[in-house]
Amino acid sequence: MYKSPQKYSPHSNLVSNELSRDSTELQIPKHTNAAVIRFYRYVQAARDGQDMKNCIALYPGCDILGSGL
């Protein structure tokens, strides 16, 4: 997502905004639905990538890991 932000816009903008916040500023959602859970999974995955964690080991089911994104 960070390699090609235009390709993933507007999602890349949303994730970047969330990642730039102090984690203490993030509020736990009061109403949980599939879209909210999916969004927070993407935020965590992006943070893991920024922290240089092994994304292939953390997210073995991800279908875009090997695509050079």
**Segment 8-67, tens digit of pLDDT:** 888 878 877 777 776 666 666 677 788 888 877 877 887 787 788 888 898 888 877 555
Give residue 2's pLDDT.
64
**Does 68 have pLDDT greater than 50?**
no
At residue 69 the predicted structure's pLDDT band, cuts being 50, 70 and 90, is very low
Alpha helix ranges (H) inside 6-33: 11-19
Q: Is the pTM of this model over 0.75?
A: no
Q: State the Cα–Cα distance between residues 5 and 23, nearest whole angstrom.
A: 22
Token reading at 7:
């390709």
